[in-house]
Copies of this chain bind each other. A is one copy, B any other.
Amino acid sequence: MMLLPNHLSGRWTSGTGTGSVLRDPVLGTELVRVDATGLDLPAGFAFARTQGAAALRELTYRARGELLAAIAKVLQANRDAYYEIATANSGTVKGDSAVDIDGAIYTLGTYAKLASTLGDRKYLFDGDATSLAKDGTFQSRHFLVPTRGLALFINAFNFPSWGLWEKAAPALLSGVPVVVKPATSTAWLTQRMVKDVVDAGVLPAGALSVVCGSSAGLLDALEPFDVLSFTGSAETAATIRSHPAVAQRSVRTNIEADSLNSAILLPGEDATSPAFDLFVKEVAREMTVKAGQKCTAIRRAFVPESLYDATAAALNARLGKTTVGNPRNETVRMGSLVSRAQLQSVRDGIAALRQEAQLLHDGDTHGLVDADPGVACCVGPTLFGVRDGDAAHIVHEREVFGPVATLVPFRSVEHAVSLVRRGQGSLVSSLYGSDPAALADTAIELADSHGRVHVISPDVASSQTGHGNVMPQSMHGGPGRAGGGEELGGLRALNFYHRRAAIQAGSAVLAALAG
């Protein structure tokens, strides 16, 4: 079975151990192996910091933007291969693979366009100069300059493509080389994309590296000016934050962890309202897209008490139509989870929710299409309901990373907001209604505990971008339980890869830097 090589120190190197086997989660077959045994990580990181970073920093933002466009072109040319890998290794239907693959290409393209607004410069201004002297001869101006280190991405299994490129686009645009360590179970697509881009020769040597397999030693090799971006569990996040690289060497860290995202149907609607319909459609879609394996997926759906039964019925009807199974069968709407481990984790989560919630739609009633239930990592969409959201705990605290959500009734908007806050900080909450003032008030009320609030009203029914879709123009991240990170948000993403400094000087010196 093919052993995927790692790319480090500007060359392809296979691990010397037995490695880990990647499987088809639907068929159970073995696909490829990955292994990182024997890699000289400190040397590889040093190569990225010296060769890769120096070459990138020699370029202007505009030129780096052209690199991103070139990467997008390479990925576009190899798109069919990526869809095949996604089907085989992630078990996703075409539309779900698109979120990962085409989402990445779109994000790269967005940053390529943003780059041209930064012009032929090698550093950025952060505001105008401020006078520090009464006569104005001595001033302070803030600048943003690329950090002189590398960016290490420790990524999650659910977005092997988008997870790499949504981080790499702002990093490379900032002049910072990238080392990506994809989650092992779906590492193939990440490795293949890096391979295509490296082989196409569009990037300087050392600008893009990939290490597949164990993450042992990666953090040990980090130095003070490196940055670390992690997407994964809150448990691993805590380990990362306590590592000497972060705790002692001040390595800047961005973390995206667990999130109990929510959707709220505001009061004032009934079961015949367009907003009710939009709510039901979005909740069902978020539960089933990528089999619920999106960090942004709706986990908690809040409705006015009077609409609880009607919503349960509407969701039940919609979820019942979801065909589950082998993504190669064109009648299948929802594929599988990525691994047996994830299947077990979701089953455990469902068992836990059963302790405090009522089953409103039983995923086990979905027979699998073209898939062996004893082999395939498939689980049907599962809707729970709790009548008393205040008394419930698990629904607010446990992220079940599959097609699972819970319906919760509320008495008032204030009550809904207090229940949403029980999530202790989330990536996204979506609001549904038809009164702009009420939607605005609730949106700003939720802003402190969410990285994004997505507002769906009938007037934007056809133009809204989806609760769970991460648009590169908007910030992605969330406080508290969600990890406290900030990604994307257009050019805001560049902050993480730059260092801010105030230069205090006379006007002649500042004029020389403004040129």
Contacts and interface: CB of A to CB of B under 8 A. Distances in A.
Interface of A: 123, 126-127, 130, 132-135, 137-138, 140, 142-143, 145-148, 224-225, 234, 237-239, 241-242, 244, 246-250, 252, 255, 257, 424-425, 436-437, 439-441, 443-444, 446-455, 457, 459-460, 463-465, 471, 473-475, 479-484, 486, 489-490, 492, 499-506, 508-513
A449 to B, nearest CB: 7
A363 B475 CA distance: 54
22 contacts: A130-B490, A132-B471, A133-B465, A138-B460, A140-B471, A143-B444, A147-B448, A224-B480, A225-B449, A234-B248, A250-B484, A436-B508, A436-B512, A440-B509, A440-B512, A443-B503, A452-B504, A455-B505, A463-B506, A464-B504, A474-B504, A479-B499
A49 to B, nearest CB: 12
Given A436-B512, A501-B452, A249 B480 contact: yes
A141 B281 CA distance: 25
A447 B126 CA distance: 13
B475 A500 contact: yes
A250 B440 contact: no
Given A448-B148, A451-B502, A502-B451, A439 B480 contact: no
Name the prevailing secondary structure of the A interface residues: mixed
B250 A506 contact: no
Question: Could you say which of A123, A148, A244, A248 has the most chain B C-beta atoms within 10 Å of its C-beta?
Answer: A248
Nearest to A485: B250
Nearest to A445: B145
B132 A465 contact: yes
Contacts of A224: 424-425, 479-481
A81 to B, nearest CB: 30
Contact of A454 (B244, B250, B504): B504
Given A241-B246, A500-B486, A437 B512 contact: yes
Question: Could you say which of A247, A444, A455, A503 has the most chain B C-beta atoms within 10 Å of its C-beta?
Answer: A503
B444 A504 contact: no
Contacts of A481: 224, 250
A74 B140 CA distance: 30
B448 A137 contact: no
A244 B448 CA distance: 22
A481 B238 CA distance: 21
A440 B501 contact: no
A509 B455 contact: yes
A447 B242 contact: no
Given A225-B480, A448-B501, A450-B501, 7 more contacts: A133-B463, A250-B257, A250-B480, A446-B501, A455-B505, A475-B502, A486-B500
Contact of A509 (B255, B457, B490): B457
A454 to B, nearest CB: 5
B252 A241 contact: no
A142 B457 CA distance: 19
A134 B255 CA distance: 32
